[in-house]
Amino acid sequence: MAKGVEWALHTLLNLDMIGGGPVGSGQLAEAHGLSPSYLNKQLQQLARAGIVASVPGPRGGFRLTKPLESITLLDVVEAIEGDTEVFHCTEIRCSGKIGELSPPLTGACAVKAAMRRAEQEWHRALAAQCLADIRAELNRSPMVRQVVRSALN
Amino acid sequence: MAKGVEWALHTLLNLDMIGGGPVGSGQLAEAHGLSPSYLNKQLQQLARAGIVASVPGPRGGFRLTKPLESITLLDVVEAIEGDTEVFHCTEIRCSGKIGELSPPLTGACAVKAAMRRAEQEWHRALAAQCLADIRAELNRSPMVRQVVRSALN
């Protein structure tokens, strides 16, 4: 998984902690010492997924479009990664000697199906957690919000 | 995930279908039209994990060391991939302006912890499925075993 997912998750939490934005991508990048151009790409991906919106103008930037209760980990992973398949089936069952000798195959490959079942549990667990759950954990240290506000104001 | 996982899973199932081996890595590669050198590397990884054993000699090759009931999807993924973490935490919470302003952080990052919880569900689902489950599905088409035997004999 690309580091963009880590960047996006922290940036969304930071945006929430300062009231939702808008904040410029440069400032959001500086908050964690990230590459502004790469973070900007991740923010564009989040905007395409409807998680943030781009606000034009000198006081513009990116702002959250919804509360953290409505943003799941899966939403962010899908927005950044696009393809969230971990196991890539290249259908080797149809290649080589075995492929030549096999009758035309119907139905999904049993290996692929088993790996997909496991991935579905991962997706389910990503979809079951929202960013508000992480915020609740962060809020146990009141300093966190204070630090984020100082860094982004 | 590298294609080696797909290769390893099919190869282990093939070994079982012809009685466990030993079969040379070249012949196993030919069965699915795979790169013999790359498959050999995967087989060495499986040997290191104790899933197969290398048998020397002219009639040697790789053989299964245990029944498919005792080999889980997680065993194979871990043998081939080594590091099975999908989300990589680079601790950006300690970097940039926020890192500078933060008091020394104790405990795991809440973002990382949430992503790990989801991955644990994936691992659990991989560990809950063994290769014998896949074989049971393949056995619904009696042709499969016949084809594998013809290809590897």
Q: Coil, strand or helix: which one is A31?
A: helix
Top-confidence residue, A146 or B107: A146
Q: Give pLDDT tens digits for A22-35.
A: 999 999 999 999 99
Average pLDDT, integer, range A1-29: 95
Buried/exposed B118-130: b ≥16 CB within 10 Å, e otherwise: bbebbbebbeebb
Q: Which residues of chain A have a CB within 8 Å of the CB of B147?
A: 98, 101-102
B86 to A86: CB separation less than 8 angstroms, yes or no: yes
Half-sphere exposure of A3 (CA within 13 A, CB side): 9
- E strand segments, chain B: 52-55, 61-64
pLDDT of residue B139: 92
What is residue B56's predicted lDDT score, i.e. its pLDDT? 95
The proportion of chain A whose per-residue pLDDT surpasses 90, expressed as a percent, equals 86
| Inter-chain CB proximity B96 and A34 less than 8 Å | yes
B63-74 pLDDT, tens per residue? Answer: 999 999 999 999
Residue to mutate among A35, A100, A121, with most B CBs inside 10 A, is A121
Confidence of residue B153 (pLDDT cuts 50, 70, 90): confident
Helix (H) or strand (E) run with residue B135 in it: helix B131-138
Pair B131, B71: CB distance under 8 Å: yes
Taking the C-alpha atoms of residue B134 and residue A135, their distance in angstroms, rounded to an integer, is 41
Can you tell me which residue has the tokens 């609740």? A136
B39-72 pLDDT, tens digit each: 999 999 999 999 999 999 989 999 999 999 999 9
What one-letter code names the amino acid at A132?
A
- Residue in chain B nearest A128 by alpha carbon: B118
**pLDDT tens digit sequence for A36-77:** 999 999 999 999 999 999 999 989 999 999 999 999 999 999
Prediction pTM value: 0.92
> Does residue A106 have a pLDDT over 90?
no
How far is A98 from chain B, CA to nearest CA, in Å? Answer: 5
CA–CA separation, A36 vs A49, rounded Å? Answer: 20
Structure tokens at A140: 């146990």
**CB nearest to A122's CB, from B90, B122, B147:** B122
Paired tokens of B145 = 């075993």
Question: pLDDT band for position B84 (50/70/90)?
Answer: confident
